[in-house]
Each structure stands twice: as C-alpha cells, then as structure tokens.
Amino acid sequence: MDADLEDVFGHHVPQLHEAAARPDASPALARALELRSFLALTEEQVARVRDRVHADMDPDRDMGELSADQLRCDAQWLEAALDARDGYRAALGDLLRTMPPPFERARPVRTTQLRATAPLPPSPAPAPQRAGAAARARRP
C-alpha cells in the first residue's frame, strides 16, 4: 500500500518517515505510518509461515518427518497472520479514504468575525461565596 500512501501524502515513503519525525507532523501521517509498520510485520509473519509450510512439504523431504500437528499449528498461525494483515490493510485503506484531499488540507479555513449588534442583558449578581457550603450542608 506504499503507492497509496505516496499518492495521498504526495511524497515517497522514506520522505514520509522524515516528515513524521518533525514536531509539526500530521497525526494522520503518524497513524498511517504506524499502520504501515504493523502491516509490514504481519506480511513478514505470513511469509515465514508460508515458507515453513513449503519447506515441510518439499517433495525431496522424508515423509516420515511430516507432522499433522505441526501443519495444523502452522495453518492456525497462517490464518491469524492473514486476519491481522487484512485488518491492517482495511484500517489503512479506511484512513487514506477518509482523509481530505491534500489540496483541501493546505487551504486555510476562513472564519467570519461576528459582532453583536444588540447590547447583552446585564449579568445576574454573583452568588455569595458561602452559597455552595450552605447547599452542601442541607444534603442528608
């Protein structure tokens, strides 16, 4: 999903990491790069389990070394890693889709200063300082 990150943020991934290290970094950029690192880790886990299963199933390997329990365990690990990978891909995709386009983020927001045209009513007299204590004293 590096291409998606680069499209949204307008820079290559190494430059995005440099930008995220600055004090004025966008929270969205920091979150996107964090999700990217989680995704990279889960993809590495998927590859490890896949490679282990391929090695176990190598046609030149002694069939006596096969273990159904080990293959079941690898299948569970692979399922967990793929679920995590899918979750991180979805979260990163959602983040990138819901971000405003870069040209909107760069444009300053205009606000209008409102002025009161009618005088405000006088404020009520301040409550005596001991009013809170009297109210607490009446509580059961």
Is the Cβ–Cβ distance between 49 and 77 less than 8 Å? yes
Compute CA 114 distance to the chain's CA centroid, rounded to the nearest angstrom: 37
Average pLDDT on 122-130 reads 58
Q: Is residue 54 included in any domain, yes or no?
A: yes
Burial class (CB in 10 A: 0-12, 13-18, 19+), 88: buried
Q: How confident is the model at residue 89 (pLDDT cuts 50, 70, 90)?
A: very high
Record the tokens describing residue 126, joined without a space: 């301040």
| Number of domains into which the chain is organized | 1
Q: Judge whether residue 118 has pLDDT over 80.
A: no
Is residue 121 domain-resident?
no
pTM above 0.85, yes or no: no
Among positive and negative, which fits the CA dihedral 115, 118, 122, 123?
A: negative
Q: Is residue 129 part of a domain?
A: no
pLDDT of 139 > 90? The answer is no
CB 25 within 8 A of CB 19: yes
Which structural domain range is residue 62 located in?
Answer: 2-106
Start-end of H helices in the chain = 2-9, 13-20, 27-56, 68-98, 102-106, 131-138
Classify residue 48: in a domain, yes or no.
yes
Asked if residue 129 has pLDDT above 90, the reply is: no
- 29: in domain: yes
Q: Is 20 a member of any domain?
A: yes
pLDDT for 126: 57
The answer to whether 78 and 56 have CB atoms below 8 angstroms apart is: no
pLDDT at res. 12: 92
Report which DSSP code applies to 99. S
16 within a domain of the structure (yes/no) = yes
Average pLDDT of the residues in 53-64: 90
Residue 38: inside a domain: yes
**Would you mind telling me the total number of residues written for the chain in this entry?**
140
pLDDT tens for residues 3-21?
988 888 889 999 999 988 9
